[in-house]
């Protein structure tokens, strides 16, 4: 587990999201603090669900018709906390 930046670069530009006031080096603890701030129930379960979805990305991408190169480019930006 490491630190992440929650952003996605697309053809339209760059979209940055702040988590607990941070734009870079976002940690799991930052996400949990933000979840607490907004009253998110079961944040650890939700993060586990997201991790499971990321682990199954290649299957989702294939089902959606993405090329392997496109799928790999998107997956290169994944960060699991």
When pLDDT is cut at 50, 70 and 90, the band that residue 64 belongs to is very high
Distance of CA 19 to the CA centre of its chain: 12
Please compute the mean of the pLDDT values over residues 23-35 and round it to a whole number. 88
Tell whether 60 is covered by a domain. yes
The two structure tokens encoding residue 16: 């940055």
Tell whether 80 is covered by a domain. no
First CA to last CA distance, the chain: 5
How many domains is the chain partitioned into structurally? Answer: 1
Query: Could you tell me the residue range of the domain that residue 57 belongs to?
Result: 7-75
Give, for 10, the enclosing helix (H) or strand (E).
strand 7-10
Residues sharing a CB contact under 8 Å with residue 47, sequence separation 6 or more, in sequence order:
28, 31, 81
Tell whether 52 is covered by a domain. yes
Please compute the mean of the pLDDT values over residues 17-33 and round it to a whole number. 84
Question: Distance between CA 8 and CA 17 in Å, rounded?
Answer: 9
Tell whether 81 is covered by a domain. no
């Amino acid at each position: 587990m490491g630190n992440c930046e929650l952003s996605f670069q697309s053809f339209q530009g760059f979209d940055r999201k702040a988590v607990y006031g941070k734009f870079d080096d976002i940690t799991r603890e930052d996400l949990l603090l933000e979840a607490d701030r907004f009253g998110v129930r079961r944040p650890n379960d939700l993060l586990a669900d997201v991790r499971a979805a990321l682990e199954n990305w290649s299957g989702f991408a294939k089902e959606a018709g993405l090329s392997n190169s496109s799928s790999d480019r998107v997956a290169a930006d994944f960060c699991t906390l």
